[in-house]
């Protein structure tokens, strides 16, 4: 029997989750009462439904006394709903449990056992991502940008289900960002992290529309990478190269009446000056945008007030 106090967070993001909840709680409780001395269930109601009288009637007292229901005033981003549960969690370890794994309640104990090997965060890793061809391209591009333009470590097949130790959770809760992408938050917090492979594929179509996924990807790219600033730099460099090319072509036509491709052109009065002037102003505009992006990026990094470092542990030698 494990002596650790366990908090289990279940987020209800759609009505179907609420209908499956009684069976899910009974399966989890049957597993936990054999393995843990104390635990709690935090139900985060992220739906429009407010009537849970049926739930109270269907659960025995042995389960109901461990249940805390948090009704959000209105549905929010699933990442924010998870945060509501993390804020309320009191356990030595906190488990974020997806209802999709209701048929595998033993996963909670496996996650806990993995933490006893010295890991503070352990998550479930899918064997594959199940999605349409175009979505797979979208995900591949999205995670390539995250890896290329940030120092954070992302696992593109990580499920939301994971266990977090108390010290890792305390550090995570210090990151009070209004725009949250939880995979990035877990990576920023750091601490020893491991994964457990599961057969269940990752299928985001069941939880979010493509529009919601696209907005989440923009949030992650703009908040946790330097991709947009780098993109503006490349736009400036390309515009400068275009400036040189256009100016060289205009000057050549002016004096030889033959362009860089070898075609003959009649010289038009004022044409060379106009082309050169427009090209110069275009390059200057792109340069100004890049400079402004640097200042905006620095301001953005400052106002988020992320901790400059997180101490994992202090040992006296």
275, pLDDT greater than 70: yes
**How far apart, in whole angstroms, are the C-alpha atoms of residue 146 and residue 252?**
44
Eight-state DSSP code of residue 260: T
pLDDT reported for residue 179 = 64
Helices (H) and strands (E) in the chain, counts: 11, 7
- Characterize 257-273 residue by residue with b for buried, 16 or more Cβ atoms within 10 angstroms of its Cβ, and e for exposed: eeeeeeeeeeeeeeebe
313, pLDDT greater than 50: no
pLDDT reported for residue 55 = 66
**How far apart, in whole angstroms, are the C-alpha atoms of residue 9 and residue 24?**
12
**How far apart, in whole angstroms, are the C-alpha atoms of residue 170 and residue 152?**
20
Q: Which residues contact 128 (CB under 8 A, 6 or more apart)?
A: 157, 201, 202
- Beta strands 93-96; 121-126: pairing state: unpaired
On whether the CB atoms of residues 159 and 123 are closer than 8 A, the answer is yes
How many C-beta atoms surround the C-beta of residue 201 within 10 A? 13
Q: Which has the higher per-residue pLDDT, 87 or 203?
A: 87
On whether the CB atoms of residues 120 and 191 are closer than 8 A, the answer is yes
Select, from the ranges 72-76, 88-92, 141-145, 151-155, the one with the highest average predicted confidence (pLDDT): 88-92
Tell me the average pLDDT of the chain: 80
The strands making up 158-165's β-sheet, listed across from edge to edge, are: 67-71, 36-45, 2-12, 93-96, 158-165, 121-126, 193-198
Lowest mean pLDDT among 71-80, 109-118, 257-266: 257-266
pLDDT reported for residue 121 = 93
Q: In a 3-state reduction of DSSP, which class is residue 18?
A: helix
Residue from 45, 46, 41, 31 nearest 1 by CA: 31
**How far apart, in whole angstroms, are the C-alpha atoms of residue 52 and residue 2?**
31
Mean pLDDT across the stretch 44-54? 71
Q: Which helix (H) or strand (E) holds 107?
A: helix 106-115
- Characterize 282-313 residue by residue with b for buried, 16 or more Cβ atoms within 10 angstroms of its Cβ, and e for exposed: ebeebbeebeebeeeeeeeeeeeeeeeebeee
310, pLDDT greater than 70: no
Residue-wise pLDDT tens digits, 85-108? 898 898 899 999 988 888 888 898
pTM of the model: 0.75
**How far apart, in whole angstroms, are the C-alpha atoms of residue 301 and residue 233?**
19
Angle at 103 between CA 98 and CA 106, to 5 degrees: 85
Which residues on adjacent β-strands are paired with residue 34? Answer: none
């Amino acid at each position: 029997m494990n002596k650790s106090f366990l908090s289990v967070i279940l987020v209800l993001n759609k009505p179907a989750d609420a209908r499956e909840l009684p069976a899910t709680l009974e399966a989890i409780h049957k597993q936990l009462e054999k393995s843990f001395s104390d635990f709690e269930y935090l139900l985060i109601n992220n739906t429009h439904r407010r009537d849970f009288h049926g739930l109270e009637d269907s659960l025995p007292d042995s389960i109901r006394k461990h249940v805390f229901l948090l009704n959000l005033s209105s549905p929010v981003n699933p990442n924010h709903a998870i945060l509501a549960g993390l804020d309320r969690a009191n356990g030595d370890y906190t488990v974020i449990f997806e209802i999709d794994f209701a048929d595998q309640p033993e996963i909670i104990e496996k996650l806990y056992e993995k933490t006893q090997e010295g890991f503070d965060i352990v998550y479930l890793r899918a064997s594959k991502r199940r999605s349409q061809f175009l979505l797979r391209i979208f995900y591949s591009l999205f995670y390539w940008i995250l890896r290329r333009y940030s120092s954070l470590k992302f696992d593109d097949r990580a499920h939301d289900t994971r266990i977090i130790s108390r010290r890792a959770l305390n550090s995570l809760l210090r990151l009070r960002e209004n725009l949250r992408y939880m995979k990035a938050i877990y990576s920023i917090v750091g601490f020893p992290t491991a994964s457990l492979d599961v057969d269940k594929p990752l299928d985001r179509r069941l939880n979010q529309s493509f529009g919601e996924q696209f907005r989440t990807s923009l949030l992650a790219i703009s908040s946790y990478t330097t991709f947009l600033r780098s993109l503006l730099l490349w736009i400036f460099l390309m515009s400068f190269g275009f400036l040189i090319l256009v100016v060289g072509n205009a000057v050549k036509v002016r004096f030889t009446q033959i362009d860089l491709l070898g075609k003959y052109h009649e010289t038009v009065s004022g044409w060379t000056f106009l082309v050169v002037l427009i090209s110069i102003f275009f390059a200057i505009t792109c340069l100004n945008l890049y400079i402004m992006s640097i200042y905006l990026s620095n301001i953005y990094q400052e106002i988020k007030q992320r901790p400059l470092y997180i101490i994992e542990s202090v040992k006296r030698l």
